[in-house]
A and B are shown apart, each in its own frame.
Chain A
Amino acid sequence: MRKKLIYFLMSMIVVLSMSSSLLLAEAKSPVTVTFWSMRTAEHERKALLKMIKMFEKENPGIKVSPTWVPWAPAIDKTIAAATTGTLPDSSIIGGDYFGDFAAMGIFEILDSYIANWDQKDNIYVDPLEPGPGNWYKGHVVCLPLEVGTMELVYNKKMFKEAGILSPPKTWNEFIVDAAKLTNPEKGVYGWGQAGWTSQGYLPWLCIVAQHNPFSAHHTFTPTGDIAFDNPIGYKMMEFWVDAYAKFKVTSRSMPVDGMREMFLAFSTQKSAMMFTEPRGTGSALAAGVSIGTAPLPGGPVYGISQVRKFSTNGNVSIGIFNTSKHKKEAWKWVSFMLSPKAQVIWASAIASFPANLVAAQDPVFKNNPLLAPSYDAIKNRYLFKIPHYPGAADVGYVHAKVAMQNALLGKWTPEEAVKYWANEIRKKMKQASK
């Protein structure tokens, strides 16, 4: 009978090894560029597939094989792939993780590719600060794929019903208008703040930078210290908290609510205003909401006067990983994605401002009123990149959130919250320079 057991085990092993060879089989074709796209909505896929078709026609020897990876799990997936060396050839890169990925050393340095590239002068880079967006330690490691300004998006119909004739130009007007639009019993708020979330801090960084003479445009001072860790930063945080706790013009929302929930509230008319990039209007447009856009409000806040116009640029890039075996082909694909004709398809599909400035001259964009604040910001040079440093993702997704949530809860004073946040950034900077 023991024999039977041994026979059984042996047959199991045989079956397992046979099935494994079957399951392990992986098809391979000569030159295929693998590409991860985090733009996964149906119309975005269609746009990408259209571009791939165009590209493959122009480059008969190369095939592009896209994988759709939604943003949320994309980060974990990229990190796991980086540690195991199973990254694709090329990928869309989220701005939040740019600094981390660059520090991990997984990007192919693009300097030599760009040197002979006919489009290099047409690609949008920060007009005032050529650097942090796509550079790491003096090298270009990514290229911007999409551009978009942080702007005020409002519900025209709700404005009309509340008797508000034009979008607010100052922060004072903003609060007054938001109060008019708020009706807590119906669950309707003037402002969809998304203050609990990781992304809720982007408009806050804008309001600080507007009022802060010390800031070198965003998180850091020219000497590299944290620009908002000072009385002006504390006051701006107080304003942010007051909008929720004192003026009550914004909902508390759920702690995990992110941009998606902010868009949801706006498109279901539960909030009348939000700060986002033009791309964020997609779901509201699909829901039939009549949308107006305006530049961010300005003017004094709590007696502190505005020192500059300011808006951030949502940062979605495209890059090549240095583990790629087909770098040359991958570069062909990346540079194709940034060519004017491809950018027209891409940017109009995802409702963003194109990264190629030749494409930006296309009437599709010029005549789009939703993009007007973006043209204004680029023309008047007040569009800045979100700061990148190794660990920025942890600060943005974890610590900024903890700081903001504790401030909104009233557990920490605005000053404590800002200090905690700034210290976490300092820790990262220290770690990075070690």
Chain B
Amino acid sequence: MRSLNKIAKNLIPYFFLLPALGILVGINLFPIIWNVYFSFFDASLLRPTHKIFVGFNNYLEMIKDPVIRLCLRNTLIWTFGSASLQLLIGLTLALVLNQRLPGRGFLRGMALFSWIIPAAMAAIMWGWLLHGELGLINDVLMKLGLIHTRYVWLGDPVTAMISLIIVNVWRLSPLFMIVFLAALQSIPPVLYEAAKIDGASTWHSFRYLTLPLLKPTMGLIFVLGSIWTCNSIDIIYILTGGGPGNETQIFATYAYNQAFKSLRLGYPGAISILMIAFLTLLAVIYLILVKEEIK
């Protein structure tokens, strides 16, 4: 009787996990297996009856595909460029908003507007702002005398990528700010008082007290932000569609094109497996960070 009780006790955690696991397995498992399965086949919606096992050919094709190399480069720039800038700006904003300013609650509330608006909507708005002939940004820069002819920001590979990153940073850094604010507000004030008594300057207490205490938060939000950015397709799809050429193509947009434009089943499957592997790596880093800080 006692051992039965013990078994029941050991099963408790699984009872708690059951609903979440059940629905995730139910919904996610099939698409993942389907993608893995088809990544070993040459199949296309265009030839419904044609399906040939090709082993690792789709993966080999990825190595040879020049666009995949561009995608790798762009995905890294897009993901880590965005995440680092978001970190920097989010932290700065948090430090400023953490001061006891009248009306800061209002400002804090307003800040998240950029994030509340659907990404697709924000991208459309930025399309208007960045537009060569109609855009406000060109109007302003020309009035300030910084440029003399209207510049098409999304028409050049370098400025296109920079513009995309700026839009993404604009969208997500307020969220980073909120996370940093949460972290800042839970640092015990006693620590600062002690530092003050020791004669530390504001900069010193920031450098040697605030920053080390924020480090874990930074790591976590950086990884999470990278995952969100790496996965998000709306901004790029609406603003550049991966162009000009393939200069802003990332894995997510490329896999999407391969599936819905090229109508292949195997190759996009292989690309998505690569993406999931890349993101799982990020997730593992995330878990290590969590573990390190907690245990």
Chain A residues within CB distance 8 Å of chain B: 2, 5, 9, 12, 75-76, 79, 82-83, 100, 103-105, 184-185, 187-189, 196, 251-256, 264-265, 268, 270, 390-391, 393-394, 397-398, 401-402, 405-406, 408-409, 411, 431-432, 434
Contact = CB atoms under 8 A, between A and B. Distances in A.
A184 B149 contact: yes
Nearest to A79: B260
Contacts of A253: 132, 152, 155
A9 B44 CA distance: 43
17 contacts: A9-B18, A79-B45, A79-B260, A185-B150, A187-B134, A188-B133, A196-B243, A254-B132, A265-B133, A393-B261, A394-B262, A401-B243, A402-B245, A409-B157, A411-B245, A431-B47, A434-B47
Interface string B239-270: 11111111010000000010011110000000
Contacts of B152: 251-254
Contacts of B248: 255
Contacts of A100: 45-46, 263
Given A251-B152, A254-B155, A255-B154, A398 B132 contact: no
Given A79-B45, A187-B133, A187-B134, A402 B261 contact: no
Contacts of A76: 260
B15 A104 contact: no
B48 interface: yes
A432 B130 CA distance: 41
A409 B245 contact: yes
Contact of B46 (A103, A255, A268, A397): A103
Interface in B1-47: 8, 12, 15, 18-19, 44-47
Contact of A402 (B12, B132, B149, B243): B243
A256 B48 contact: no
B261 A398 contact: yes
Nearest to A432: B46
Contact of A398 (B18, B19, B244, B262): B262
Contact of B263 (A79, A264, A411, A434): A79
Contacts of B246: 402
A103 to B, nearest CB: 4
Contacts of B45: 79, 82-83, 100, 104
A390 to B, nearest CB: 5
Contacts of B130: 254
A270 B260 contact: no
Contacts of A409: 156-157, 244-245
Contacts of B8: 2
Nearest to B239: A256
Contacts, number: 115
Contact of A256 (B156, B240, B261, B263): B240
B247 to A, nearest CB: 8
A254 B133 contact: no
Contact of A252 (B12, B155, B239, B257): B155
A120 B243 CA distance: 44
The 8 closest A-B pairs by CB, nearest first: A255-B243, A187-B133, A252-B155, A405-B244, A256-B241, A252-B152, A103-B46, A406-B245
Contacts of B48: 104-105
Contacts of B260: 75-76, 79
A33 to B, nearest CB: 25
Contact of A255 (B47, B150, B240): B240
Contacts of A187: 132-134, 138, 150
Nearest to A99: B46
A72 to B, nearest CB: 10
A169 to B, nearest CB: 28
A394 B263 contact: yes
A5 B15 contact: yes
A193 B214 CA distance: 52
A120 B139 CA distance: 56
B131 interface: yes
A270 B152 CA distance: 14
Contact of B132 (A79, A252, A390, A394): A252
Most A CB contacts (10 A, CB to CB) among B12, B45, B260 go to B45
Contacts of B47: 103, 390, 431-432, 434
Contacts of A105: 48
Given A100-B45, A104-B45, 12 more contacts: A12-B19, A79-B45, A187-B133, A187-B134, A188-B133, A253-B155, A255-B160, A256-B154, A390-B46, A402-B246, A409-B157, A431-B47
B57 to A, nearest CB: 14
Contacts of A256: 127, 154, 238-241, 243
Nearest to B153: A254
A270 B50 contact: no
